[in-house]
Structure formats: C-alpha cells, structure tokens
C-alpha cells in the first residue's frame, strides 16, 4: 500500500499550510471578541485556490476528491489553530455542496455554481431543539401545495447563520414517520416566513454564529428539493463527508496542540534543565504522537474509501471520527498540562485549542451514536434498536 502523496496533493497541502500560517496571529482576537472578518477569511482562502477543491469542474470546482479535501482542511486546522479558515473549504466543497450532487440537475444549476465559487454560502440546517442525535425524529415539515412546499419548524446550531444566505434544510415530507419521510430542500434566508436568530454563545468555535432558524409557513418551490423522501440512506452519504471534515479537525487540532506542547517543553526549564528532559514529559509527547499517527491512518483510510472519490464509506469514516473525538480532547488536555499553570491562561493558545475541541466532540455525531454504528457493523445479525 502506497502512502505517498502525489505532486499535486503535496502542492495543495503546502498552499493550505501557507495560508493557514498567515492567520495564526489573528485567531486569538476572533476568539476573544467572538467576531471574525469572515468575508476576508473567505477571500484569502480563495486566493490560495482552495475553494471547491473536491467539487466537479462542471460546477466550477477543482475536480479533487475526499483525500484532497482532507489534506487541505487538516493543514488549515493545524497551522491556523482556528476552525474558521477551513470553513470556506467546507462551504464550497463539503457536505452541503456535495449533497446537491445527489439531487436533480435543476437544483444543481440553480445554486451549485454560486456555492462552489463562494458567491453564496449554504448552511446545513439539520439539528432541531428536540432532534439532535435522534435525527429520524425531526419535526420540521414540508407539505405539498401545488408547485410549492410549505415549511414549518425550528432548526438550531446552524454554523454560519449570520454569514450564509442558503440553508440545506432537512425536513419531513407528508407526515411520513421515521427515516422514510426525511429529505432535504434549499431554504433562502430572504424567503417570507424565515426568521434567523443569533443562537447561543459557545465556549469554543467562536467568531461566527451557530444560530437558529424559525420557519413559519415558508413557501419553497419544489425545484428546491435536493433529495426527496424515501432516500434517507442516500442523503446521509453526503453527511459522511461532514464526518471526514470532523476527522480533519481532530487531526489538525491534535497536531496543533502537540506543536505547542513540544515547543514549550523545550523552552521551559525546571530544576536546572529543559522539562522535555524529564521522562514523564517525553513519554507524554511520544504517546500524543502515536495517537495522532493512528488517527491519521484511520482518517486517510476513510478518505481513500470514498465512493467515486467523494463520499467516504460509513464504517471507515465513523471509526475515524469516533477515534478522533475520543483521543483529541485527551491530547489537547495533556498539552495544557505540559504547560503547567500557564496552560490555563489566555496567554497561551492551548486553552483555546482545547475549548474548540470540547465544542466539537458531538459535531457530526455524538460518540455514543458513533459507537452504535460501529457495533451495528460488527454484529450485523443483531438489531441494536434505540426506540
């Protein structure tokens, strides 16, 4: 098995590292103010030619796949030490845009060119106040009315709600229970009956809003249907790319925490020598790096497994995401510990890195839900029912 990157992949990685490093001195202020110059971030990532990296050239993308996507977001997460620079890649090439590839050509032509070019941003309106992990229990409805759908419901945790105009919205069609009734449609913020709210203040992932959207008798043309009812499993293949993005987050952030810890322990002295010379310290660094390398293999295997190079296989990406969400917070917490008392101060970035990691533990699927999926794959003849 050849793990070597191609020349074009190495170039992508190098460009992502360079632009990621360019943000490193700015991210502390974004976090402290909970406000970031998102359009400027978008333009700088775009100037490095990293938008639409995994989208077909037909729609303005670069024609890459899941591996290229992972390479780019991992490098941005690691070297920017912020979740924001990877967002333009996510918005132009991640699960939202990829979801459109599952739909009819009409909805692709209507929206996808603008999304991939970064002219319009698209949220994923998935979670509801009473339906997070229990996605198949969502209550937002889409009732047919001639050539339109009438939507009613409440969505929350819409990352980018104050900077994106479109929402790939998961809805229930015609009161059909369970997974069979679920599909996705495009909702524009400007449509009558759409109300977007600020949402809660997060301890991490700060800078742009993770808002709420209230839908009250919102009329949406049927041509905005991305995937209709009865195709839930197909729709969720796009969500596998969300989990690969999560893998990129854990891989990049774990390395960022390791980088900070390794730098600090070589500079800090105690008892007359650098603290890296103490066995407990260099053993801790060794353990951190082995976990990072194990996560790298799982994440890259998931990316390489992708169907048509785009949608990672469910089993592989679930295992990788679960491992990342398990070891990532441990690595960042250990990095704080290696900084001693300074690790808990805002003078050092490890505390921000750790807060972002804590915020992301349940993103893309809570660990308990991921374990359900792994167990279901291990024991296919058993039904681990959650209802």
| Each residue's pLDDT expressed in tens, for the chain with a length of 387 residues | 778 899 999 999 999 999 999 999 999 999 999 999 999 999 999 999 999 999 999 999 999 999 999 999 999 999 999 999 999 999 999 999 999 999 899 999 999 999 999 999 999 999 999 888 778 889 999 999 999 999 999 999 999 999 999 999 999 998 788 889 999 999 999 999 999 999 999 999 999 999 999 999 999 999 999 999 988 888 888 889 999 999 999 999 999 999 999 999 999 999 999 999 999 999 999 999 999 999 999 999 999 999 888 899 999 999 999 999 999 999 999 999 999 999 999 999 999 999 999 999 999 889 999 999 999 999 999 988 876
Residue 125 contacts residue 168 (beta carbons within 8 Å): yes
Enumerate the β-bridge partners of residue 211.
Answer: 158
Number of H helices and E strands in the chain, helices first, is: 12, 10
Tell me, what's the pLDDT at 284? 98
Q: CATH 2.40.110.10 occupies which residues in the chain?
A: 122-230
Specify the CATH superfamily of domain 233-378: Butyryl-CoA Dehydrogenase, subunit A, domain 3 (1.20.140.10)
Q: CATH 1.20.140.10 occupies which residues in the chain?
A: 233-378
Residue 258 contacts residue 335 (beta carbons within 8 Å): yes
CATH of 7-117, one of 3.40.50.300, 1.10.540.10, 2.160.10.10, 2.40.10.10: 1.10.540.10
Q: CATH 1.10.540.10 occupies which residues in the chain?
A: 7-117
Strands (E), the chain: 122-125, 141-145, 148-159, 166-173, 182-188, 194-197, 210-221, 225-227, 269-270, 273-274
122-230: which CATH topology?
Butyryl-CoA Dehydrogenase, subunit A; domain 2 (2.40.110)
Q: What is the pTM of this model?
A: 0.96
């Amino acid at each position: 098995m050849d793990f070597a990157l191609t020349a074009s992949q190495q170039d992508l990685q190098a460009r992502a590292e360079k632009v990621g490093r360019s943000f490193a001195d700015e991210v502390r202020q974004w976090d402290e103010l909970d406000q970031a110059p998102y359009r400027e971030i978008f333009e700088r990532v775009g100037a490095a030619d990293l938008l639409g990296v995994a989208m077909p050239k037909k729609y303005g993308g670069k024609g890459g796949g899941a591996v290229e996507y992972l390479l780019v977001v991992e490098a941005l997460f690691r070297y920017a030490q912020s979740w924001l620079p990877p967002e333009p890649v996510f918005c132009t090439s991640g699960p939202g845009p990829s979801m459109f590839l599952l739909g009819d050509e009409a909805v692709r032509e209507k929206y996808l060119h603008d999304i991939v070019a970064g002219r319009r941003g698209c949220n994923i309106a998935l979670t509801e106040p009473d339906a997070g992990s229990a996605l198949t229990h969502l209550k937002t409805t889409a009732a047919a009315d001639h050539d339109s759908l009438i939507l009613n419901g409440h969505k929350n945790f819409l990352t980018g709600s104050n900077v994106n105009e479109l929402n790939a919205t998961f809805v229930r069609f015609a009161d059909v229970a369970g997974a069979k009734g679920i599909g996705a449609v495009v909702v524009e913020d400007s449509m009558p009956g759409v109300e977007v709210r600020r949402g809660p203040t997060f301890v991490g992932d700060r800078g742009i809003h993770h808002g709420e959207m209230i839908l009250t008798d919102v009329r949406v043309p049927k041509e905005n249907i991305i995937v209709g009812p009865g195709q839930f499993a197909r729709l969720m293949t796009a969500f596998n790319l969300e989990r690969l993005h999560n893998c990129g987050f854990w891989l990049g952030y774990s390395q960022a925490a390791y980088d900070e810890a390794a730098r600090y322990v070589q500079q800090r002295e105690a008892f007359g020598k650098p603290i890296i010379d103490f066995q407990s310290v260099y053993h801790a660094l060794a353990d951190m790096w082995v976990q990072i390398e194990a996560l790298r293999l799982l994440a890259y295997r998931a990316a390489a497994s992708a169907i048509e190079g785009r949608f990672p296989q469910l089993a592989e990406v679930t295992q990788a995401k679960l491992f990342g969400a398990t070891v990532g917070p441990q690595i960042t917490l250990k990095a704080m510990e290696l900084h001693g008392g300074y690790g808990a101060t805002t003078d050092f970035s490890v505390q921000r890195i750790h807060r972002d990691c804590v915020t992301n533990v349940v993103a893309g699927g809570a660990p308990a839900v991921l374990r359900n999926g792994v167990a279901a794959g291990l024991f296919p003849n058993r039904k681990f029912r959650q209802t």
